[in-house]
Chains A and B, each alone.
Chain A
């Protein structure tokens, strides 16, 4: 999780930043699902053989969150493409210098 945050802050490439965001999200998902684990439990599908189930509630929340996360990263990628169309680069420093130049 911290690795994802680290990538977001330190890398200059915008696509890499989007990837960092996705990693950050996925780490949080893994944390949530690990809270739902019950030792000796099985997947929450009711059968006669099992007597303990994992907690289904975090699973539901994470199902929703995964799909929303993909939608978010799709939006981010569209933004990156639009930035590339306008500036012909996706490196943060280069965009900064172009902006400074155009202000003069």
Chain B
């Protein structure tokens, strides 16, 4: 019962944060609110027994990503008063998607039900065997590094590619568009 109450409280805080991110125009406060959002999420993960995920979210999601966003926001101009675009179709889309999601969630097994299908398939073997195989008590580490090591290798490749892309984007300043645009602007003056 306690668990559900804490969860409900944290999720309502998340909704409030999302609303304020939607409302504010100043870039730096958007970034700060995003940091708060991810920190709240890591609190939710702790509440849901996912301590490893909470660590990662607090370090990577709330730390590194906030630093990156602050660095970007420092270079960008202050946000203008935002006139909303596509307001009406997006409200319809949002309501439709939330309806669909609610229908789906109503059909899922109850939160914390130990007999739900996802708890019955491979996981019992993982929980039983992994201590004898790898001598590490943390099952998440065992699965991440051993049973699903190729997943982690793929993740590393993705991060490497993203890093290459970021470096390529930030160091290139010989795009055609720029010269064209600058020329046009000079002509206008």
Contacts and interface: CB of A to CB of B under 8 A. Distances in A.
| Chains A and B belong together in one complex | yes
B144 A60 contact: yes
B83 interface: yes
Interface in A33-51: 33-47
B103 interface: no
B55 to A, nearest CB: 9
A23 B60 contact: no
B15 A3 contact: yes
Contacts, number: 252
B50 A33 contact: yes
A67 B155 contact: yes
Interface residues of B, number: 92
A1 B97 CA distance: 10
Secondary structure dominating the interface of B: helix
Interface string B9-50: 001000100110110010100110010011001001100111
B84 interface: yes
A29 to B, nearest CB: 7
A36 B48 contact: yes
A63 B140 contact: yes
Contacts of B52: 43, 59, 63
A74 to B, nearest CB: 5
Contacts of B116: 35
Interface of B: 3, 11, 15, 18-19, 21-22, 25, 27, 30-31, 34, 37-38, 41, 44-45, 48-53, 56-57, 60-61, 64-65, 68-69, 72-73, 75-77, 79-80, 82-87, 89-91, 93-94, 97-98, 101, 108, 111-114, 116, 118-119, 122-123, 126-127, 130-131, 137-140, 143-144, 148, 151-152, 155, 158-159, 162-163, 165-166, 169-170, 172-173, 175, 177-178, 180-181, 184
Given A9-B86, A19-B34, A56-B140, 11 more contacts: A9-B85, A11-B22, A16-B82, A23-B37, A33-B48, A38-B113, A43-B52, A74-B68, A78-B170, A81-B170, A90-B77
Task: Kindly list the 5 A-B residue pairs having the minimum CB-CB distance in the complex, ordered from nearest.
Answer: A39-B112, A71-B162, A3-B18, A54-B49, A9-B90
19 contacts: A6-B90, A13-B82, A15-B69, A19-B21, A19-B31, A30-B44, A35-B116, A35-B118, A46-B138, A58-B50, A60-B148, A63-B52, A67-B155, A67-B159, A70-B60, A79-B169, A81-B169, A87-B181, A102-B181
